[in-house]
């Protein structure tokens, strides 16, 4: 029997995407000291907004990634509404990121690209 998964989206810039690519699209890189949380979002629309408004402005390119994580792992974290109805994200402490990586099912895929 297959374990149930949750689909997450993550807006990212070129530097982070390069590190994800180096992992074979299987892992997220460790957070930097000024990044205490990893915050994937619940929907593609919100991820696109962040990629365009933040990543493109800061680095010239923005990407939206999509990946599946075991539901049993994600159930430990609440979804936070941080703005409009679709502005929802998980807040995963940086120290839990390695465990999240161990619970990714399949590959991290790039579903949108903005320049």
**Which percentage of the chain shows pLDDT scores above 70?**
99
**Which pLDDT band holds residue 53 (cuts at 50, 70, 90)?**
very high
Residue 101 to residues 45, 57, 81, 104, 113, Cα–Cα distance (Å): 23, 28, 23, 5, 23
Would the pLDDT of 1 be above 80? no
Mean pLDDT of 94-105: 98
Q: Tokens representing 58?
A: 């800061």
Element (H or E) spanning 102, and its range? Answer: helix 97-102
Rounded CA-CA distance 69/46 in Å is 19
Domains and CATH numbers, the chain: 5-114 (3.20.170)
Would the pLDDT of 60 be above 80? yes
Would the pLDDT of 57 be above 90? yes
The residues near 109 (Cβ < 8 Å, ≥ 6 apart) are 25, 65, 66, 67
SS3 at position 29: coil
């Amino acid at each position: 029997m297959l374990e149930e998964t949750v689909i997450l989206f993550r807006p990212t810039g070129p530097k982070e995407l390069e590190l994800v690519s180096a992992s074979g699209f299987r892992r997220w890189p460790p957070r930097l000291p000024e990044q205490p949380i990893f915050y994937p979002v619940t929907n593609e629309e919100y991820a696109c907004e962040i990629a365009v408004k933040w990543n493109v402005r800061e680095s010239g390119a923005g990407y939206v990634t999509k990946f599946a994580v075991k539901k049993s792992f994600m159930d430990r974290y609440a979804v936070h509404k941080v703005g409009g109805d679709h502005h929802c994200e998980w807040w995963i402490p940086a120290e839990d990121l390695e465990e999240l990586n161990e619970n990714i099912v399949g590959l991290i895929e790039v579903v949108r690209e903005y320049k």
